[in-house]
C-alpha cells in the first residue's frame, strides 16, 4: 500500500500565509474600500465640474460632416492596393481606403462621452476585482461540512456574483452606445440637409450622458447592498462553525 502524500512544512506555511493574506485583504475591502467607494459616489454627479453632470451634454456633440482628410500613402502602395494585391491568400486592402466609400465624409466621435465611458468601465472593472478578492476570502474560510454558517457564506457569495454580473453588464454600455451612434451618424452623412438626424444625434448623446450618470448611481447601490449584507453577517462569515442558529440578515 502506497504511503499517503502530505504537505511538507514549508508548503503548508506558504498556504497558511496566503490564506492569512487573503483574509486581511478581504476584510480591508469590506470595512475600508466598500464604504469609501460608497461615499465617493454620493455627490460626485451633482457637481457641475463632474464629467457626469448633464450640463456637459449641450456642447459635447458635433454633428458636422467634415471632408475626408487626404491620404499620405505612396502612389506605389495605392496602385498595389487598387490592383487587388494578394497576401497569404487574402486580398489586401487599406484600413483607411475611402476610394470606393459611398459617403466618404467624416464625423467626429463624442470625445466627452468617450472619457465618461472610460471612467465607467474602470469603475466596473474595480468592482469586479474587489468582489473576486472578497469571494476568495470567503471561500478560503469555509469549513468542511454543511452547517448554517456555510449557508450564510454561500448566500454572500451569490450576492457578490450578482454584483459582478451587474458590473459586467454596465461595462457593455460603451459598445452599445458606439454602435447606435454610428448608425445615426451614417444617416447624418447620407442626408446632411435633414436637420432631424442631427437633432437625434444630440438627443442620443444627452441620453447617454444621463444613462451614464444613472449607471454610476447603480454602482453606488451595488456597493451599498454589499456593504450592508457583509457587515450584518460578518460574524457568520468569519466563524461559520460557531453560528448554527439565527438567519441571514
How far apart CA 77 and CA 74 sit, in angstroms, is 5
Of 226, 22, 240, 4, the residue nearest 128 (C-alpha): 226
Q: Which three cell numbers stand for residue 46?
A: 451633482
The yes-or-no verdict on residue 200 having pLDDT over 60 is yes
The yes-or-no verdict on residue 140 having pLDDT over 50 is yes
> What is the band of 93 on the pLDDT scale with cuts at 50, 70, 90?
very low
How far apart CA 214 and CA 220 sit, in angstroms, is 10
| Residue 245 exposed, middle or buried by CB count within 10 Å (0-12, 13-18, 19+) | exposed
Q: Which three cell numbers stand for residue 203?
A: 438627443
How far apart CA 171 and CA 167 sit, in angstroms, is 6
Pairwise pLDDT comparison (234 vs 247), residue with the higher score: 234
Please give the full DSSP string across 90-154, using - where no structure is assigned.
EE---TT--TT-SS--B----HHHHHHHHHHHHHHHHHHHHHHHHHHHHHHTPPSS--HHHHHHH
User: Of 6-10, 24-28, 197-201, which range is least confident?
Assistant: 6-10
User: What ranges do the domains of the chain cover?
Assistant: 26-67+108-242, 70-104
Whole-structure pTM value: 0.80
Alpha-carbon dihedral angle through residues 126, 132, 138, 142, given to the nearest 10 degrees: 180
> What is the band of 244 on the pLDDT scale with cuts at 50, 70, 90?
very low
User: Of 23-27, 97-101, 109-113, 221-225, which range is least confident?
Assistant: 97-101
Instruction: Domain 26-67+108-242: give its CATH code.
Output: 1.20.120.180
Mean pLDDT of the chain: 83
| Residue 103 exposed, middle or buried by CB count within 10 Å (0-12, 13-18, 19+) | middle
Amino acid at each position: 500500500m502506497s504511503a499517503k502524500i502530505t504537505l511538507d512544512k514549508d508548503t503548508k506555511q506558504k498556504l497558511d500565509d496566503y490564506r492569512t493574506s487573503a483574509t486581511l485583504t478581504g476584510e480591508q475591502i469590506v470595512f475600508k474600500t466598500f464604504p469609501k467607494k460608497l461615499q465617493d459616489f454620493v455627490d460626485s454627479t451633482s457637481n457641475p465640474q463632474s464629467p457626469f453632470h448633464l450640463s456637459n451634454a449641450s456642447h459635447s456633440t458635433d454633428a458636422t460632416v467634415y471632408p475626408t482628410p487626404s491620404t499620405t500613402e505612396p502612389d506605389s502602395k495605392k496602385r498595389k492596393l487598387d490592383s487587388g494585391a494578394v497576401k497569404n491568400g487574402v486580398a489586401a486592402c487599406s484600413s483607411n481606403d475611402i476610394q470606393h466609400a459611398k459617403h466618404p465624409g467624416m464625423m467626429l466621435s463624442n470625445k466627452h462621452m468617450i472619457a465618461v465611458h472610460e471612467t465607467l468601465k474602470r469603475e466596473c472593472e474595480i468592482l469586479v476585482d474587489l468582489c473576486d478578492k472578497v469571494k476568495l476570502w470567503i471561500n478560503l474560510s469555509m469549513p468542511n461540512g454543511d452547517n448554517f454558517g456555510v449557508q450564510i457564506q454561500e448566500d454572500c457569495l451569490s450576492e457578490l456574483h450578482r454584483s459582478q454580473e451587474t458590473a459586467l453588464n454596465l461595462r457593455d454600455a460603451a459598445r452599445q452606445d458606439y454602435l447606435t451612434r454610428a448608425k445615426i451618424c451614417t444617416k447624418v452623412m447620407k442626408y446632411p440637409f435633414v436637420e432631424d438626424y442631427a437633432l437625434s444625434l444630440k438627443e442620443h448623446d444627452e441620453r447617454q450622458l444621463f444613462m451614464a450618470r444613472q449607471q454610476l448611481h447603480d454602482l453606488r447601490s451595488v456597493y451599498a447592498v454589499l456593504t450592508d449584507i457583509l457587515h450584518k453577517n460578518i460574524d457568520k462569515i468569519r466563524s461559520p462553525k460557531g453560528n448554527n442558529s439565527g438567519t441571514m440578515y
